[in-house]
Amino acid sequence: MKVSKGGTKMRNKQRKSSVLNFVWGLVGFALIVWLFFTSRINSSHQPSAKELEKVEEEEFRLPPPHKVNPRAVKRRGSHKYSKVIDEYLDASSALHDSFFPSETSAINPQKGGNDSMSFYPGRVWLDTSGNAIQAYGGGILYDHKTSKYYWYGENRDGPTYQVHPEGARRVDIIGVSCYSSEDLWSWTNEGIVLPGERTDITHDLHESKVLERPKVIYNDGTGQYVMWMHIDDANYTRASVGVAVSDSPTGPFSYLYSFRPHGFDSRDMTIFKDDDGTAYLFYASRVNTELHVSPLTNDYLNITSAMRRILIRRFREAPAVFKAKGTYYMITSRCSGWAPNPALAHAAHSVMGPWETLGNPCVGGNEFLRMTTFLSQSTFVLPLPGLPGTFIFMADRWNPADLRDSRYVWLPLTIGGLADEAQDYSFGFPSWSRVSIYWHRKWRLPEGWSRRYT
């Protein structure tokens, strides 16, 4: 049979391309197997952190259906659990009581005993003087000079009220509280390190205004402790960031100024200090439709001109940023006032983005708890020294009926395993590790925890 030269060439070409396809298939398969095993190895090579990953389920009975408050639905959007959340927020309901247990079950460092070092998310948490800790929307700084942790947050120990019926529930500015601890469980009140202003109504910190989500970082160059916070008016239209400084972690902090970063509105925010000393401001902007990230100046007192828009049209707030093995992670919430909603985890190779969304990090409890971030909203993620890849997820369980009686939800957060809900386009390969926040009614820090950063 006569075979034309063209035909042979064509067949050779086809053979070559099927060999190539086979090789690429093999490479793809090997990559999946490698990703699968490395992610398993990453999550399993820290045996002491394993106990934090116990999956605890909760029996939870949904209350019988009742009339939905149309104003509440408008505020939060419709949601499978809207009715239950309504009921949970109603201070006269039994459901509310079960998630805001009375002070008789408080975490009390004065008592210690068997419960010493046990974290109970949602219980009243007393300081070493026996008073309920007031540090909402807060964050923690580890200070190498004093080898202590400092927890800064909103002091909301005043009456909750509304300026007008449609307005957000609020407490007048009292100031930023600071608590110190060596073990992260027993906290000593260091007082109000940045007080609200009583008389000068034009002052940013006048009690009639809003001061939220204060975070403090230490500047190794200037030796100053720098605080950034959300500054607003009662209607949340001022939408600015404020800056304060101190020479000591326990203050007093001197308030410097507020401004709109890059001219944009800025509401929920956080700051993040990277290993190389560069610090960044993250802020919810363009009416909470997106987040912006910007490096701070070397003295941490201002922002640089660089800025990236991230998570555009995602409507995320309450950012809490952290880093593990060179990858940046962030937990955020949806925007629903004081009502809880599902958290999302995000990851990036560069702090300036692009940021990809991984999915809901909540594990255990039950679906209702996972869809409400265990009835809380993110505020900070603290790395645990001695346990790489293990963190404490810090969140607020807001009680809009009486904000001073909001609670803290601290839970273990680990990185490892495959991200199960790659939400952004990722070429079919789940390229990130999973971020998991594990529900525990009661938990302790594991043995491997070293207390101090070296």
Q: Give contact residues for ligand DGJ (rule: CB under 6 A).
A: 137, 168, 212-213, 268, 317-318, 337-338, 377
Q: Check the CA dihedral 438-444-450-451 and report its sign.
A: positive
Residue 422 is encoded by which pair of tokens? Answer: 């790659």
Alpha helices in 45-189 (DSSP H): 70-76, 82-89, 94-99
- Minimum distance from CB of 398 to ligand DGJ (Å)? 7
- Minimum distance from CB of 241 to ligand DGJ (Å)? 13
Q: Name which of 73 and 168 has its Cβ closer to ligand DGJ.
A: 168
**In Å, how far are 153, 157, 173, 178 from 136, measured between CA atoms?**
5, 10, 12, 11
- Minimum distance from CB of 141 to ligand DGJ (Å)? 19
Residue 420 is encoded by which pair of tokens? Answer: 């199960």
- Minimum distance from CB of 242 to ligand DGJ (Å)? 14
H helix or E strand, kind and range, residue 328: strand 327-334
Q: Name which of 265 and 317 has its Cβ closer to ligand DGJ.
A: 317
CA 257 from centroid of its chain's CA atoms: 25
Q: Name which of 270 and 433 has its Cβ closer to ligand DGJ.
A: 270
Give the chain's radius of gyration (CA, Å): 24
- Minimum distance from CB of 227 to ligand DGJ (Å)? 16
Rounded CA separation 187/182 (Å): 8
C-beta separation of 209 from 173 below 8 A: yes
Q: Name which of 180 and 285 has its Cβ closer to ligand DGJ.
A: 285
Q: Name which of 86 and 212 has its Cβ closer to ligand DGJ.
A: 212
Q: Name which of 168 and 352 has its Cβ closer to ligand DGJ.
A: 168
SS3 312: coil
CA 134 from centroid of its chain's CA atoms: 18
- Minimum distance from CB of 154 to ligand DGJ (Å)? 8
Query: Within 10 A of 237 (CB to CB), how many other CB atoms are there?
Result: 8
- Minimum distance from CB of 125 to ligand DGJ (Å)? 19
Of 441, 440, 377, residue with least CA distance to 403: 377
Q: Name which of 148 and 170 has its Cβ closer to ligand DGJ.
A: 170
Q: Check the CA dihedral 75-77-78-82 and report its sign.
A: negative
Q: Name which of 339 and 387 has its Cβ closer to ligand DGJ.
A: 339
- Minimum distance from CB of 440 to ligand DGJ (Å)? 24
- Minimum distance from CB of 168 to ligand DGJ (Å)? 4
Rounded CA separation 399/90 (Å): 9
Q: Name which of 165 and 221 has its Cβ closer to ligand DGJ.
A: 165
Half-sphere exposure of 207 (CA within 13 A, CB side): 12
